[in-house]
């Protein structure tokens, strides 16, 4: 690949960090070049948006790009714990993109400041239930603006896996040793294992139950190809057949089917995880007005249509569903008005033993 093409793909978020570093090295381009190029291309003043891989693209905030003629600065994190630790250590950004189960922890750590919803033109069009999910509006202030919502479940290659009953246990099936994967973020993974081993409350396990979760993860570790950090690399491994089953978000199903990869998405008998992710304003945000413009652009229905159609997630803005094609909604199993679905769902919440689980999972990964 030519250096110019390579740098373009990196800048457009089409490669993971690991792929980018490997490709740059192979092309004889130093990583200093990669770190300097984006700075040269940036406008002088833009909001800084700390987000997941795949959300650092113009389609995520089209109105912002149209107004300012430039992308926001968009550093990437692999998981929410990495983002939390960096922000707590003083990493300076304006807006970050965690999920609702982290709101209380981040607020208690002094990372957040309230969002002025009066500056958001789309605020009135958001689903009411999501505005208060997991304490998002604690104390009469808005600490979190919901954006996308969906599920975590098992994706598998229908041509390479003999699936029986839908169950998370497929990710422990020794027939597929070396061809399985699970997310590296303990927020989901510990709950998945908790559901599988029968923990009473996977969001508040006892010490004995944490030991049960660890034992199950220790059992799984030799069967895994890798723990995935971003779903782009997981999807690539699934498409090539490097892995045949993994935990995954809805977007993986959409993206892989678009490529003609034969995959299916389970409804595990133990339960499927539901989640809502969104935006926070950091305590040390420097570009307050631009940050609110960015938030408003991300909850605009033009961004929501892309999230629904291209990623397979629900969006927080009701008008996004009005714009979506009925065939797309039917294929995703989403109603035109998902209000009742949202109000009856059980969304991932804060895990009260997160620090213990994080330490446990690091020990598992270290072997």
> How is domain 151-274+349-366 classified at the CATH fold level?
D-Maltodextrin-Binding Protein; domain 2 (3.40.190)
Please state, in angstroms and rounded to a whole number, the distance separating the CA atoms of residues 191 and 201. 9
- The domain ranges of the chain are 3-149+276-342, 151-274+349-366
Q: Is the dihedral angle over the CA atoms 78, 80, 81, 83 positive or is it negative? A: positive
Identify which of 177, 208, 152 has the alpha carbon closest to the alpha carbon of residue 360: 208
Residue 327 has what pLDDT?
92
First to last CA, the chain: 37
Q: Beta-carbon neighbour count of residue 141 at 10 Å?
A: 14
Average pLDDT, integer, range 115-125: 98
Average pLDDT, integer, range 70-96: 95
Q: Would you say residue 168 has pLDDT above 50?
A: yes
| pLDDT per residue as tens digits for the range 194-249 | 999 999 999 999 999 999 999 999 999 999 999 998 888 999 999 999 999 999 99
Average pLDDT, integer, range 67-81: 94
Residue 333 has what pLDDT?
82
| % of the chain beyond a pLDDT of 90 | 74
Kindly report the backbone phi and psi dihedral angles of residue 230, in degrees, each rounded to the nearest multiple of 5, phi listed first: -135, 145
pTM given for the model: 0.77
Same fold, 3-149+276-342 and 151-274+349-366: yes
Tokens 């099936």 correspond to 173
Instruction: Read off the DSSP letter of residue 48.
Output: B
SS3 265: strand
Residue 120 has what pLDDT?
98
Residue 2 has what pLDDT?
41
Residue 44 has what pLDDT?
52
Average pLDDT, integer, range 179-183: 97
Identify which of 140, 315, 80, 95 has the alpha carbon closest to the alpha carbon of residue 132: 140
| pLDDT per residue as tens digits for the range 283-338 | 999 999 999 999 999 999 999 999 999 999 999 999 999 999 999 998 888 899 99
> How is domain 3-149+276-342 classified at the CATH fold level?
D-Maltodextrin-Binding Protein; domain 2 (3.40.190)
Residue 16 has what pLDDT?
43
Burial of 44 (0-12, 13-18, 19+ CB in 10 A): exposed
Residue 179 has what pLDDT?
98
């Amino acid at each position: 690949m030519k250096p110019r093409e390579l740098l373009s793909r990196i800048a457009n978020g089409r490669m993971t960090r690991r792929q980018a570093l490997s490709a740059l090295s192979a092309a004889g381009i130093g990583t200093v070049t990669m770190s300097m190029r984006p700075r040269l291309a940036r406008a002088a003043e833009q909001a800084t948006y700390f987000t997941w891989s795949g959300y650092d693209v113009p389609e995520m905030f089209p109105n912002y790009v149209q107004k300012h003629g430039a992308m926001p600065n968009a550093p990437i994190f692999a998981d929410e714990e990495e983002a939390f630790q960096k922000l707590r250590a003083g990493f300076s950004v304006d807006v970050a993109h965690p999920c609702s189960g982290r709101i209380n922890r981040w607020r208690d750590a002094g990372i957040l400041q309230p969002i002025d919803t009066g500056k958001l033109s789309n605020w009135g069009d958001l689903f009411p239930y999501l505005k208060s999910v997991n304490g998002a509006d604690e104390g009469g202030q808005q600490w979190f603006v919901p954006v996308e919502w969906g599920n975590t479940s098992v994706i598998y290659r229908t041509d390479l896996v003999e699936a029986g009953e839908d169950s998370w246990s497929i990710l422990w099936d020794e027939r597929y040793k070396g061809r399985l994967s699970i997310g590296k973020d303990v927020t989901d993974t510990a709950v998945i294992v908790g559901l599988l081993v029968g923990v009473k409350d996977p969001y508040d396990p006892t010490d004995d139950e944490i030991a049960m979760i660890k034992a199950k993860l220790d059992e799984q570790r030799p069967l895994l190809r890798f723990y995935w950090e971003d779903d782009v690399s997981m999807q690539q491994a699934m498409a090539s057949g490097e892995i045949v089953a993994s935990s995954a978000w809805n977007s993986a199903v959409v993206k892989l089917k678009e490529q003609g990869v034969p995959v299916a998405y389970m409804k595990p008998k133990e339960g499927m995880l539901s989640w809502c992710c969104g935006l926070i304003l950091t305590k040390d945000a420097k570009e307050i007005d631009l940050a609110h413009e960015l938030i408003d652009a991300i909850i605009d229905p033009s961004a929501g249509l892309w999230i629904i159609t291209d990623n397979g997630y629900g969006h927080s803005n009701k008008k996004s569903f009005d714009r979506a094609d009925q065939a797309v909604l039917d294929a995703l199993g989403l109603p035109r008005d998902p209000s009742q679905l949202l109000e009856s769902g059980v969304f991932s919440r804060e895990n009260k033993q997160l620090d213990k689980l994080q330490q446990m999972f690091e020990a598992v990964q270290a072997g």
